[in-house]
Amino acid sequence: VIELGRSTMRTDAERNRARILEVARELLATSGDAPMHAIAQQAGVGQGTLYRHFPTRDALLLAVYRQDVEELIEAVPALIAAHPPLEALRLWCERLASFGPVKRGVIDALEAATRTDLKSEYHHQLVSAMEAILDAGKASGDVRPDATAEEVLLLVGCLWRVEGADWEARSRHMAGLIVDATRKRSETQA
């Protein structure tokens, strides 16, 4: 049979997969390092089933946060269209930060994915998204021409690490610092 992009999965398999993702998202949000066996048990499946759907721990983590990451990537064009570049960058940072410390696993998963296969699909997409923002800013003269997408992404990655009670206000403030780091400086530079 020819494999279509569609679900050629058996119904029970599909249900299991969905249930695993649901449970994993729940457990990982609270404990962060929930063991695989606990996820399988809570989902009511054997460990083998878990590994059939997600061949490795990192694969599961990435799948759990895939939606968030994709949303982040897809949001970029609209942001660029609706706002001046630096404002778009700031809004994107805040959206990223808004996932909050609870979902800090996203970036860990991404980092892991980036490290294992250096040409990770998502890594490339994230770089492209950031490049779109920066290029718009360079065209309008708001963003310094020497800022690269990779390094700004690295800076933006810090937002996930903000902890504590007022993480929301503090990460917003840090987003401002990052935006200013990419801003083209006036001629009166030191």
Judged by beta carbon distances under 5 to 8 A according to partner kind, the member of a second copy, DNA, none in contact with residue 16 is DNA
First to last CA, the chain: 68
Check binding of 174 to a second copy (CB under 8 A): yes
Among 4-12, 33-41, 53-61, 174-182, which window interacts with a second copy (CB under 8 A)?
174-182
Quick one: which of 9, 94, 102 has its CA closest to 64?
A: 102
Among 40-48, 70-78, 120-128, 138-146, which window interacts with DNA (CB under 7 A)?
40-48
In the complex with DNA, the residue whose CB is nearer, 1 or 4, is: 1
Q: Which structure tokens are listed for 105?
A: 């696993």
Contacts (Cβ under 8 Å, ≥6 apart) of 20: 39, 40, 43, 45, 49, 50, 53, 54, 60
Residues 30-49 as b or e (16 or more Cβ within 10 Å = b): eeeebeeeebbebbebeeeb
Check binding of 77 to DNA (CB under 7 A): no
Check binding of 155 to a second copy (CB under 8 A): yes
Positions touching a second copy (CB under 8 A) are 86, 142, 146-148, 150-152, 154-155, 157-158, 161-162, 170, 173-174, 177-178, 180-183, 185-186, 188, 190
